[in-house]
């Protein structure tokens, strides 16, 4: 049996072409596409960051949303969506589906680390924001544009992320979009669209705080996710993962079932 069918090879190539086209539309200097991305980045930053100007309640809300602990909200919501998927067939495939979820978490970590390695090397030829200065890592808009309303100054009692020296690509966005992309393709359109909506909403706080540019998430993050999803969708990797991680699901399923039964959820 061939590793890839001709049809899957075409789809794999298409995913990579889309990812490269998106990335290079931003990476290649010039007014045609990069200039448009720059304008969009600045409009998004000043619009969203401007929400922090005169509202203490808004400042506190977005500070909480930019605290690292808030990431647990996204993981909890994704886990709930996946739990609904796990038990949608009367526990028929519970071991496989639990194992697949843990594989996905493992795969996302690998993708994020590889993207850091790749873009750090590309960063040697990168830009300090949009100032055109060579810099190893791209600075966040809160360090480049003015005026910038910094949550670390406005709400100092909450450790909110509002700047970074290496904002591209947005690793937070990669995680969110990778999970939602996987859900969209593999566990159903309705669950996938719900996960995508959650991903968009929960990636927004970093944009409000100025920790990331719009293109960090929607060019860098999405281009990485397109490549990652391609290898899950167009190769036997998902099928192999079921073989590798189903034993993990078999071990963990009793631990999951017992509390759910006690709570009369299942």
Region 82-87: mean pLDDT is 85
Task: Please say if the pLDDT value at position 251 is more than 70.
Answer: yes
**How many structural domains are present in the chain?**
1
Poorest-pLDDT segment among 80-94, 121-135, 197-211: 121-135
Q: What is the pLDDT of residues 36-66, one digit of tens each?
A: 899 999 999 999 999 888 888 999 999 999 9
**Cα angle, residue 133 at apex, residues 132 and 138 outer, rounded to 5°:** 90
Q: What is the pLDDT of residues 213-246, one digit of tens each?
A: 999 999 999 999 999 999 988 888 888 888 888 8
Candidates 99, 51, 87, 57; CA nearest to 204 is 51
CB 209 within 8 A of CB 151: yes
Please report whether residue 209 resides in a domain. Answer: no
Please report whether residue 58 resides in a domain. Answer: no
Query: Whole domain around residue 223: which residue ranges?
Result: 6-35+71-146+174-201+215-262
Please report whether residue 64 resides in a domain. Answer: no
Query: Locate tokens 């978490």: which residue?
Result: 105
Direct distance between the N- and C-terminal alpha carbons of the chain, in angstroms, rounded to an integer: 40
Region 67-94: mean pLDDT is 85
Residues 6+ apart with CB under 8 A from 95: 246, 249, 250, 253
Element containing residue 151 per DSSP (H, E)? helix 151-154
For residue 193 the two structure tokens come to 């669209």
Task: Please say if the pLDDT value at position 208 is more than 80.
Answer: yes
Poorest-pLDDT segment among 236-240, 247-251, 256-260: 256-260
Please report whether residue 155 resides in a domain. Answer: no
Q: How many Cβ atoms from other residues are within 10 Å of residue 148's Cβ?
A: 20
Task: Please say if the pLDDT value at position 259 is more than 80.
Answer: no
Please report whether residue 88 resides in a domain. Answer: yes
Mean pLDDT of the chain: 84
Please report whether residue 246 resides in a domain. Answer: yes
Please report whether residue 166 resides in a domain. Answer: no
Q: What is the pLDDT of residues 158-173, one digit of tens each?
A: 898 888 888 888 888 9
Region 117-145: mean pLDDT is 65
Please report whether residue 160 resides in a domain. Answer: no
Region 84-107: mean pLDDT is 83
Candidates 98, 77, 42, 38; CA nearest to 202 is 77
Residue 161: C-alpha distances to residues 42, 69, 114, 137, 213 (Å): 19, 11, 23, 17, 13
d(CA 37, CA 129): 12
């Amino acid at each position: 049996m061939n590793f890839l069918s001709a049809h899957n090879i075409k789809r794999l190539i298409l995913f990579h072409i889309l990812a490269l086209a998106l990335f290079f539309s931003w990476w290649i200097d010039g007014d045609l596409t990069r200039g448009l991305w720059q304008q969009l980045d600045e409009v998004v930053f000043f619009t969203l960051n401007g929400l922090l100007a005169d509202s203490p309640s808004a400042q506190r809300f977005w500070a909480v949303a930019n605290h690292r602990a808030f990431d647990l909200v996204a993981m909890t919501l994704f886990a709930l969506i996946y739990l609904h998927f796990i038990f949608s067939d009367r526990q028929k495939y519970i071991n496989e589906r639990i194992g697949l979820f843990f594989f996905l978490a493992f795969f996302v970590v690998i993708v994020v680390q590889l993207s850091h390695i790749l873009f750090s090397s590309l960063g040697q030829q990168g830009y300090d924001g949009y100032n055109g200065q060579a810099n190893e890592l791209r600075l966040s808009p809160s360090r480049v544009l003015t005026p910038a309303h910094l949550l670390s100054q406005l709400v100092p009692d909450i450790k909110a992320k509002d700047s970074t020296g290496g904002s591209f690509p947005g690793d937070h966005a990669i995680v969110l979009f990778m999970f939602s992309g996987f859900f969209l393709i593999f566990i159903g359109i309705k669950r996938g669209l719900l996960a995508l909506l959650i991903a968009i909403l929960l990636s927004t706080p970093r944009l409000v705080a100025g920790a990331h540019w719009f293109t960090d998430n929607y060019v860098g993050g999405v281009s990485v996710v397109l490549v990652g999803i391609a290898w899950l969708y167009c190769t036997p990797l998902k099928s192999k993962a079921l073989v590798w991680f189903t034993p993990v699901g078999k071990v963990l399923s009793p631990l999951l079932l017992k509390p759910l039964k006690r709570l009369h959820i299942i």
